[in-house]
Homo-oligomer: A and B are copies of this chain.
């Protein structure tokens, strides 16, 4: 069997960890986890979303998102209100306080991203992301959850 430290999952895991290690300290200083930050960023760009759509955007599973939204709401960083037309749906939006928090984190976050880009190379970064997208695409519809979709 292939040396597992050279397997694709391990390569992806290590690369992601190398990247996230750069961001975590800054986020931590602001009392945010990586996932909470993802949610705030997603909300900042969208005004109002349903929970399910937010889960898709922030790439979080429903149960994780449920918990995090509960906590973010308790910290007054987001707001929720049930949709009028469908009482099942909960509409989520970022609060003013949330916007301010984002504004305080964004500069260092941007700086870190810029430094990563500088070190790795902007061109290579684009190329890498293209390959990652292709990998994702090439596996779409393979694993669980895709029951007889059209696929064209």
Contacts and interface: CB of A to CB of B under 8 A. Distances in A.
A8 B117 CA distance: 10
Nearest to A117: B8
Interface string A124-140: 11011101111110111
Contact of A135 (B1, B2, B128): B128
B144 A25 contact: yes
> How many identical subunits does the complex contain?
2
Interface residues of A, number: 58
A122 to B, nearest CB: 11
A2 B45 CA distance: 10
Contact of A12 (B4, B15, B106, B121): B15
Contacts of A9: 16, 19-20, 23, 34
Interface string A55-69: 001010000000000
